[in-house]
A and B are shown apart, each in its own frame.
Chain A
């Protein structure tokens, strides 16, 4: 009796999540392709449920952040001072947000701290692009040579001085951007679309099961 119960339990643990994933996935697919009131209503319900589940996942994420940094503080691991700062600031923002996300405290924190910090961090991108370009311009292979030549032609074609060298420079730049570059981008997009479809179909058909511990039924 116990063995039967265990077998049923194991079977349910394997098949129930898969059956739910396949059923709900198929429903969402039908909702996308067909415009029918009942399917639309069910699809909308599951989409709203996703938002709620993600909100709970955000709480889990916050707990993870606090766990990692509290452990660092307790064990005095490297950078534990910064962990104290992070935990303190997290608690301050949580307390400031108790009256609501639009409260004066949260608004002030975002306007005077969060957004300026974001802008400052993103401003590093300009310098990082320059260093990345310098590293990328080292000719190590045929690909790198093509990369360098293309970059030089497009750069010169973009600036006014390119036109002084000859009309063919901006024309060549335009051709590079409109023909091989666009063709390459479209090829990548087609490949990505097929890869995305393949990933979704594998989950729909139960080949991939990221929602269980048994990830693949056909290893």
Chain B
């Protein structure tokens, strides 16, 4: 171990960074292998996530009622610490936008970080182009509200309270402002699906949302909603690495207990 620490020290890598490297490195080859296997053998079975299953129903209800769907992509952005959550929110938006373009449902998407706005705009526009309705693209359907979290919450609360919204989807990085937004939705009787990665905010999500996406479930949107092969492959790799971590923890407990 001393030799390993010396080698790592010479390379300028700390012990914690080395552990992170050890977790990161297997991802690359495993993702390639599993991705190829899925393309050859077909889609693997996935456990049901009620949040994604019910989302389809809520979007259908919104379409039938002639009202709109709102997608909140959180207060994170591209290039921030919440980039992964923001990319997960983009996957959800891509699905909602595709459904909306196919059925004529109105979508309002709101962002708090301006770096996310052009990407979200592009996602919605591409969905309409893919469905053959490029002329129906409305630049005002993706709105930058405010980079201040409280102002963002106030803006979204106004949208949920005064615009004709039937379904509210909140996926991404959120703080306490989640509850401000979700409570307005709950009080107005909106059908709500929400998820975030912060354990401090999840207790707000559960009571105020009809369906909850807990932690990493938001990263599964690409697999469940869009059926993307690479996302299915990364779910499998995540499962394997999670099993390896659990095994390591159990072995560590045994070694410590017996030593």
Residues on A facing B (Cβ under 8 Å): 32-36, 50, 53-54, 57-58, 60-62, 64-65, 67-68, 71, 78-79, 82, 114, 117-118, 121-122, 124-125, 128-129, 131-133, 135-137, 147, 184-185, 188-203, 205, 207-208, 210-211, 213, 215-219
Contacts and interface: CB of A to CB of B under 8 A. Distances in A.
Nearest to A195: B219
Interface of B: 11-13, 17, 20-21, 23-24, 27-28, 31-32, 35, 39, 77-79, 83-84, 87-88, 90, 94, 111, 114-115, 117-119, 122-123, 126, 139-140, 142-145, 147-148, 150-151, 153-154, 158, 162-163, 176, 179-180, 182-183, 186-187, 197, 199, 202, 204, 206-208, 214-216, 218-220, 222, 226-231, 234-235, 237-238, 241-242, 245
Contacts of B237: 198
B219 A58 contact: no
B143 A202 contact: no
B215 A191 contact: yes
Contacts of B245: 190
20 contacts: A53-B79, A54-B77, A54-B114, A60-B114, A61-B111, A64-B117, A64-B144, A65-B143, A79-B158, A118-B150, A124-B180, A129-B204, A132-B182, A188-B214, A191-B238, A192-B219, A195-B219, A198-B235, A201-B24, A202-B231
A22 to B, nearest CB: 12
A212 B79 CA distance: 16
Contacts of A213: 122, 126
A65 B229 CA distance: 36
A193 B21 CA distance: 13
Given A197-B23, A215-B94, A218-B229, A147 B206 contact: yes
A33 to B, nearest CB: 5
Nearest to A182: B199
B229 A34 contact: no
Contact of A210 (B39, B90, B199): B90
A201 B140 contact: no
Nearest to B234: A198
Contact of B207 (A136, A192, A193): A136
